[in-house]
Amino acid sequence: MLCGDAASLIDPLQGHGIDLAIRSGILAATQAAACVAQNDFSAAFMHQYDEQLQRQLGPQLAHSYRLMRLLGTRPWLMNLGTRLARLPGISAWVKRLLA
């Protein structure tokens, strides 16, 4: 089982992955405990970890990658977002959008 950076669980927008590393580590520990409890270390049983990882972290990463592709092909949009983020009334909204 790969976790964190080894599993490429890095948010492309923010460039960090400590939260994803911790969450994937918890999932891996849970799966390892299940393997020991069931005495089943087969690839089919271990596939449950992949499914849990996709179910719990996939949507967040997919959102970040979609947003990164959008911003990467439209640099003006990134510049606009940066400028808007500096405005007091709008900064919280922009931060929520990018989170």
Q: Tens of pLDDT along 53-87?
A: 999 999 989 988 888 888 888 888 878 877 877 87
Question: What pLDDT sits at residue 2?
Answer: 92
Per domain, the residue ranges of the chain are: 4-98
Query: pLDDT band at 98, cuts 50/70/90?
Result: low
Which residue has 């069931």 as its token pair?
Answer: 38
pTM above 0.85, yes or no: no
Q: Tens of pLDDT along 23-51?
A: 999 999 999 999 999 999 999 999 999 99
CA 49 to chain centre: 15
Question: What pLDDT sits at residue 68?
Answer: 85
* Selection from 47, 56, 59, 48 nearest residue 22 by Cα: 56
